Structure 1
Amino acid sequence: MTDVRRSADRYRGGDPASGIESLHAFSFGRFYDPDNLRFGAVLACNEERLAPGAGFDEHPHSHTEIVTWVVEGELTHRDSQGHATLVRPGDVQRLSSAGGVRHVERNDGDLPLVFVQMWLAPLSPGGDPSYEIVHGIADSTPYALPQAGAMLHVRRLTPGERTAVPDAAAVYIHVVRGEVRLGETELGPGDSVRITDADGLVLAAAGTAEVLLWELG
């Protein structure tokens, strides 16, 4: 089964007056839809746009796997475990909040920052927080998230290139940029697809495109 969700249908959040614009694919904050709480382990897929100098002040998380993909600009990350990093396009950042952690996310640069942040439910709650950043992950190199029983596939496609959708019980697709086709369905930036029992599906790029695919157990 394939469920296509369009970018225009995302919930709008953030605080535009403070330079923060957020687009939510799932129920988030004050936006509540009991029929759109999660898909498999995926709890959130937020598109965040931060103006220079804007950001999220220190705030807590717990029992959540947080994976961040920067589209443009640089994300400054600091957390209560002592990690302080710059996350750039091509980097995969993971924060396992486990029993509890606090962090800050800001755009300390001179250019606008755009990133996609995905929250996944861990298989087992609690434990100790952990952090990892993979700089410049190679195309088609999967990023394993065993804490959530999931695998992230990053695909940067050239015009006309095709890529297989993982055959899995569930797959979540988010189009970062460009246009791709899934069967007869055209997908653009910000569109997403929730697939159950994926088997033999292929994405084809109309032009240069970037896609995130979550293979879910």
Structure 2
Amino acid sequence: MTSVHRSGDRYPGGDPAAGIESLHAFSFGSHYDPDNLRFGALLACNEERLAPGAGFDEHPHSHTEIVTWVVEGELTHRDSAGHSTVVRPGDVQRLSAAGGVRHVERNDGDTPLVFVQMWLAPKDPGGAPAYEIVRGIADSTPYALPEAGALLHVRRLAAGERTAVPEAACVYVHVVRGLTRLGGEELAAGDAARITGARGQELAAEGGPAEVLMWEMGG
């Protein structure tokens, strides 16, 4: 079964006056929707836009796997475990909040920053925080997140190119850029598909190149 969710249906958030614009795919903060709390292990898929100099001041997280994908610009990350990095397009950043961690996320550059941040529920809460960044992850190389029983597939498709949808209990597809087709549905940038029991499906780029994030998850 496939359920398509359009970019325009996301919940708006953030603080536009402070240069922060957020779009939430799931129930988040003051936007509570009991019928849209999660899909598989995925708890949040947020599109964030930060103006130069804007950012999220130090704030806490716990019992959450946080994976960040930068679309354009550079994200400055600092956390209470002592990590300080700049995340760029093509990098995969993971912060395991575990029993508790605090971090700062800012746009310290002079151009707009756009990133997608995804939160997943760990199979075993608690423990010590952990951090990892993979620089320039290769196309079609899955990023394993065993703590949540999930794999992230990054696909950069040329015009007309097709890719198989992972066969899994739950697959979440998020289109970062470009125009794609999944079965009979056209998916544009910001659109998403939630697929239950995926079998033999393909995603194709239409009219130009496309960039897609796909989460492969257990039930």
Shorter-normalised TM range: over 0.9
Counterpart in 1 of 2:196?
196
Q: Which runs of 5+ in 2 are unaligned?
A: none
For the pair 1:107 / 2:115, whether they are aligned, the reply is: no
The AA in structure 1 aligned to 2:10 is R
Partners of 2:152 and 2:107 in 1: CA distance:
25
Scaled by the length of structure 2, what TM-score is found? 0.99
Counterpart in 2 of 1:59?
59
Counterpart in 2 of 1:2?
2
Partners of 1:35 and 1:118 in 2: CA distance:
19
Counterpart in 1 of 2:86?
86
Aligned residue for 2:8, secondary structure, equals helix
Counterpart in 1 of 2:213?
212
For the pair 1:40 / 2:47, whether they are aligned, the reply is: no
Partners of 2:167 and 2:182 in 1: CA distance:
14
Partners of 2:121 and 2:13 in 1: CA distance:
22
1:144 is displaced (CA, Å) by 0.1
Superposed structure 1 runs of 4+ greater than 4 Å apart: none
Query: CA-to-partner distance for each residue in 1:118-148, whole Å, 9 max, x for gaps?
Result: 0000000000000000000000000000000
Q: Which runs of 5+ in 1 are unaligned?
A: none
Partners of 1:72 and 1:99 in 2: CA distance:
31
The AA in structure 2 aligned to 1:193 is A
Aligned residue for 1:147, secondary structure, equals helix
Partners of 1:150 and 1:168 in 2: CA distance:
10
Partners of 1:146 and 1:167 in 2: CA distance:
17
The AA in structure 2 aligned to 1:89 is P
Scaled by the length of structure 1, what TM-score is found? 1.00
Partners of 1:153 and 1:174 in 2: CA distance:
11
Query: CA-to-partner distance for each residue in 1:149-200, whole Å, 9 max, x for gaps?
Result: 0000000000000000000011000000000000110000000000000000
Counterpart in 2 of 1:166?
166
For the pair 1:131 / 2:137, whether they are aligned, the reply is: no
What are the equivalent positions in structure 2 for 1:6-45 lying under 5 Å apart?
6-45=6-45
